[in-house]
Structure 1
């Protein structure tokens, strides 16, 4: 699987964006609101690396408890897959647990995404390309 992006949980996208820009990143797509997850998302790139900044927009966001616990931090890797259902089945055989079923990602061109967790790996995201 190819890495699509690193998900970076933040308290304030605009403040964090400035720090990434200082490190040579460029805005790939400006901040958009994901109403499904109640978060703002922005993608930045630096060469072949893509970072997704994620800002929860309130306590009802599923990302809010993670932000409260870990503060600003990378928290998932996203991998590109051809068939999300097949990839999920393969990963479940390898002891990954689905923590968010496949759903549309408005900020990734409406592609399907799913989130899984493994006790030794942590959270990963799959995006169906």
Structure 2
């Protein structure tokens, strides 16, 4: 079902400072930046081989990432796995008894189709599934 790791999401308080750290210290290349209004984040993708690190900065304190930062501080937010057919993956995961945060996909960064699985059914890890959209 999962084709590969798509990205690892990291919640940050200062997006520009985090970008500078990942570019200068880790040598990662910033390849995309977008404010994803529906999810309440300013997000960037940095390349790591064929995968990405996604840095997420909240657009406000009442957004999911804003609340995460208030509770836990900066750090690992989620892991995302790429799927070829998100609707099929959601149906299969639901049939397997997984608790879904999103019953239907929503639009994520770069227009991708995304959905989240509840950490209560994934061993405590917020898990995202992603079906990229061809550009």
TM-score > 0.5, shorter chain as reference: yes
| 2:105 paired with 1:102 | yes
When the two chains are superposed, the root-mean-square deviation of aligned CA atoms in Å is 1.6
- Match for residue 28 of structure 2? 25
Cα drift, residue 85 of structure 1: 1.7
SS in 1 for 2:79: strand
Cα distance between partner residues in 1 of 2:36 and 2:90: 23
| 2:14 paired with 1:12 | yes
Cα distance between partner residues in 1 of 2:49 and 2:106: 28
Cα distance between partner residues in 2 of 1:88 and 1:48: 24
The 8 Å contact of residues 95 and 118 in structure 1, kept in 2 or not, is answered as: no
The 8 Å contact of residues 24 and 46 in structure 1, kept in 2 or not, is answered as: no
> Greater share of helix residues, 1 or 2?
2
Structure 2: 5+ residue stretches without partners: none
Structure 1: 5+ residue stretches without partners: none
Aligned length: 126
SS in 1 for 2:61: coil
- Match for residue 39 of structure 1? 41
The 8 Å contact of residues 46 and 54 in structure 2, kept in 1 or not, is answered as: yes
- Match for residue 112 of structure 1? 113
Cα drift, residue 86 of structure 1: 1.5
| 2:126 paired with 1:123 | yes
- Residue from 48, 64, 67 that aligns with 1:65: 67
SS in 1 for 2:5: strand
Query: Relative to structure 2, which stretch is displaced further, 92-101 or 114-123?
Result: 92-101
TM-score calculated relative to the size of structure 2? 0.84
Cα drift, residue 70 of structure 1: 1.6
> Greater share of strand residues, 1 or 2?
1
Cα drift, residue 48 of structure 1: 3.4
